Amino acid sequence: MEKPAYDKYFGDDGSGDMKKFIVDSVRWLQEQGNAQALEVPIEALETILPDDMKLSADPHDYEPSTQVVLMKLIRSDFAGEIFDPMLEQIGSSIEDIKTVQANGYRRRIPGLPVLPNKKDKQSAEDVEDAMFDVLKREVYGRMAPVLVRAAALGKPELLIGKLSEMEQAMTAALAAVPDASEDAQNSIQELIDYTRIYTELIDDEKVNESEYNTFMNLLIGKFITNRVDNINDAIADIDHSHDDHSADECNIEIAKDFGAKVMHVLWRRYYGDDPEPGKHPQLERLNDISVVLFDAFNNTIEFNGLTPHPALEQPIMENLHEHVPENSELREEVFEIFTEFAKNNKDVVAALKRQHDDDNAARIMVTMTAACPQIKVLDECMLETKASSSVQDGDLDAALEQLLNGG
């Protein structure tokens, strides 16, 4: 028989006969003498695989017997022959997935799936689940899969072509709709700019590991300045940016009677090598958590995930919802951090008691958010990163010139 061709089994929308494609592919491999394929009983394969298999289905929704068969096919030496034609539709391959699983991520970009620590002993089930997790997440969204793959493999060239396509698409769209609003034009251009910065971030030749760590630390620092320092300054009347609207409709004005600083940093991530094990391994393991804040006025602990590309906000939220709520070890860590915070900030605790004096059942709430800063913030972080790198390399004159000339 001829080698099964993907386009003869599937339509452009991915619909088709997935079961027949798998069975015929295994049968063809057997005819080629593939030793592992010859160990697969075709009759059993036809019985176990469901007739309505879909490319987009969650493998965990299948019967256990089907899951086991699929796992064995994916881990076989001929997995690429079967699954690569499918994965090519989203710009990936079995080899990419196995490379990431074996070596970890090339860059720890927020939004990538959470993989088990390589130092942890992993069972066959853990490995299989992680592989499927990567597979499943690569089909989320239209851009996120390409961003994830380029960062995980350290291949910025995967995005360079996409940038060219996006620019061509923008030009064509604006030519077709000459009356497009300025906001629409800016939105398209912003997406291109975000992708260009992201491409630079994952390119070893443009941003080395040390510079990447500096960039992410600056990004987190600016977020804290905006969400913590600026709000506390506004409440303390140091910052008057809220004086131009009604006090009755402004939470800043309302919070001025709280009696203590409102926003506090419970924990923040630092990028870079740490010679000693971290005090908070659960928080450190979940790469999508960048900052944990306490909003005392609203009695809320906030888990914040920061990303340099808006297309990764949704994957970050999915990761947070999957790995935060039911994580008892994480909950214990955060409780210890908050207990220590309460001991060292008695004025905040007293203000909380006053605010909730009539509320016998006041409870601390938890929120999770994912955010991508504005382009100008990313540009500032990149400029400061390059200036810092120049100073570290001893080229102070070049650093000053770069700052004075705006890059």
Q: What is the largest CA-CA distance in the chain?
A: 80
Same domain, 386 and 307: no
| pLDDT recorded at residue 185 | 61
312 and 402 within one domain: no
Count of Cβ atoms closer than 10 Å to residue 157 Cβ: 9
CB-based burial of residue 269 (10 Å sphere; 0-12 exposed, 13-18 middle, 19+ buried)?
buried
Contacts of 385 (CB under 8 A, 6+ apart): 207, 211, 214, 215, 218
Domain span at 405: 380-407
Q: Is residue 201 part of a domain?
A: no
Q: Note whether residue 336 is domain-resident.
A: yes
389 and 310 in one domain? no
Neighbours of 217 (CB within 10 A): 17
Considering the domain architecture, whether residues 391 and 344 belong to the same structural domain is answered as no
Mark whether 336 and 386 lie in a shared domain: no
Alpha-carbon distance of 93 to 204, in angstroms, equals 23
Residue 343: both structure tokens together: 């001991």
Q: Give how many domains the chain has, as a whole number.
A: 3
Looking at the structure, do residues 406 and 285 belong to the same domain, yes or no? no
Q: Are 79 and 96 in contact (CB under 8 A)?
A: no
Residues of the chain with pLDDT below 70 are: 13-14, 55-60, 64-65, 113-142, 165-188, 238-255, 273-277, 358-362, 390-407
**Euclidean distance between the first and the last CA atom of the chain, given in angstroms as a whole number:** 61
233: in domain: no
Long-range contact list for 237-241, CB < 8 A, 24+ apart? none
Quote the tokens at residue 51. Answer: 């007739």
Q: Which residues pair with 294 in a beta bridge?
A: 264, 301
Helices (H) and strands (E) in the chain, counts: 19, 4
What are the φ and ψ backbone dihedral angles of 385, each rounded to 5 degrees?
A: -65, -45
| Opening angle at CA 11, ends 128 and 37, nearest 5 | 40
Take residue 125 and report the two structure tokens written for it: 């089930």
Residue 211 domain-assigned?
no
**Do 288 and 406 fall into the same domain?**
no
Query: Based on the domain organization, do 347 and 395 belong to the same domain?
Result: no
CB 312 within 8 A of CB 319: no
pLDDT confidence of residue 86: 81
33 lies in the same domain as 134: yes
Q: Both 82 and 22 in a single domain? A: yes
In a domain, 96, yes or no: yes
Note whether 368 and 406 are same-domain residues: no
Distances (CA, A) of 306 to 107, 110, 114, 189, 359: 15, 7, 15, 21, 34
Q: What is the pLDDT of residue 104?
A: 76
Q: Which residues contact 350 (CB under 8 A, 6 or more apart)?
A: 259, 260
Whether 136 maps to a domain, the answer reads yes
